[in-house]
Structure 1
Amino acid sequence: MLSSPPTEPLSTDEVIGMLIDREWSARENKRLDRLLKDARVPNGVSLEELSCEAGRGVERSFARTLGACQWVRAKQNVIVVGATGAGKSFLGAALAQAACRQGFRALCIRTPRLLEQLAVARAAGTYAQALARIAKMSVLVLDDFLLSPMTEIEGRDLLEVLEDRYDHSSTVITSQLPTKTWHQAIGEATMADAICDRLVHNAHVVTLRGGSMRKKKAIAPEVTETKN
């Protein structure tokens, strides 16, 4: 303000108000940056960038509804299913980004990696602390759910995570398998019942369709001219 050309003078209240607005905005931006970094949300991912073309299985109005994060406040889950490359991981990360913008703590992690980390924590004697850290997340995005068969120990670990979160926080699942096949994919009947019961019954299910988004973004092959 001191270095700007002189204009209509501002009152003391107006100057203080501008300073407060700038400080508040700076603190909110830092807080959001910290939440996004802790959540491991990739750069450039947001619901605004989500492809909502006809036939994709998700409409722009529904995306806006998810972006308002009422499902997080209601402690509900979101399940995203679809073929490889359909955009499941993008949508999951975008939901975490939307939650961070609303002030919620989130975490994006591949399911196999989470189970591996819990196995390491058990061996190191920090299993309870690891579960407690996960439970504190308002939104947990588990990517690549049931990408490979789970062992009995991994199933028990996952059940512990979901038990801590049920009716307390929200979980986002992305999977290539439709929910009706989860019971069989998990294997052990009692374990499958417990896991599915905590995930499916209070979840919004989104089925993504269409071709691979990765193929659409692929670099076109170079065409070399040949001389006759």
Structure 2
Amino acid sequence: ASGARQRIKHAAFPALKTLEDFDWSVQPAAEKPLLLHLAQLAWIEERANVCFFGPPGTGKTHLAIALALKACQHGSRVAFATAQEWVSRLEQAQDRNQLEHELRRLERYHLLVVDEVGYLPLERQAANLLFALVSRRYERGSIAVTSNRGFEQWGEILGDAMVAAALIDRLVHHATMITLKGKSYRLRERGTGIAPSAQAPSLRDSA
């Protein structure tokens, strides 16, 4: 139990979310049987990936954290960060001429959660670093990705259609895709059905 607590602490989740506290009634597109199957964690043993897509506030990050939390509880090493944070971490390593060392260090994690891909566009060098991260983990370790943009928009997000195509190819080869639909249930709780703009200053799907 103490080991699980340490793994959860080191994962650096923004909040602790579980499948049990997910409101399936407002998000029928989240296929409960599929999520419960993923919660058995065979995909992590297989070094496969999970990709969550959908508008802001539909529960993408909640579900990604729930699966990652379950992985921590069952002995997996997990690290959580937004796409921007991962890129920043790799940029700092590159500035110290330690990019290869950092990528190798991250191989020790069974699962990396890359949250909010597409929230902000990336410069080409940043896109290359994100590609390096995904490429390094291909068939070596799992990634859970959340994005408010479909793959068809990733060329625009990453500023390079070729890099986007190569990244997507590696990400989806062994992956489960889950698309969430509907209105933000954060806003539904406040009595409005208007989804927030993708440019809103705060976009965290941890509700």
Is the pair's TM-score, using the shorter chain for normalization, greater than 0.5? yes
- Tell me, in whole angstroms, the C-alpha distance in 2 between the residues paired with 1:42 and 1:187: 28
2:108 aligned with 1:119, yes or no? no
User: Which residue of structure 2 lines up, in the alignment, with residue 100 of structure 1?
Assistant: 72
Q: Which has the larger radius of gyration?
A: 1
Tell whether the 8 Å contact from 1:183 to 1:196 is kept in structure 2 after alignment: no
User: Which residue of structure 1 lines up, in the alignment, with residue 36 of structure 2?
Assistant: 64
What TM-score do you get using the length of structure 1 for normalisation?
0.77
Question: Structure 1: any 5+ residue segments left out of the alignment?
Answer: 1-28, 221-228
Q: Name the amino acid aligned to 1:64.
A: L
User: Which residue of structure 2 lines up, in the alignment, with residue 150 of structure 1?
Assistant: 122
TM alignment of 1:1-228, pairs within 5 A: 29-53=1-25, 56-218=28-190
Q: Secondary structure at the match of 2:162?
A: helix
Q: Secondary structure at the match of 1:85?
A: coil
Identity over the aligned pairs, expressed in percent?
27
**What's the Cα RMSD here?**
2.0
The higher relative CO (CA closer than 8 Å, separation ≥ 6) is in 2
Q: Name the amino acid aligned to 1:172.
A: A
Q: Name the amino acid aligned to 1:71.
A: W
- Tell me, in whole angstroms, the C-alpha distance in 1 between the residues paired with 2:77 and 2:177: 22
List 4+ stretches of structure 1 deviating above 6 A: none
Alpha-carbon distance change, 219 to 68 in structure 1, aligned in 2, over 3 angstroms: same
- Tell me, in whole angstroms, the C-alpha distance in 2 between the residues paired with 1:125 and 1:182: 28
Query: Aligned pair count?
Result: 192
What TM-score do you get using the length of structure 2 for normalisation?
0.85
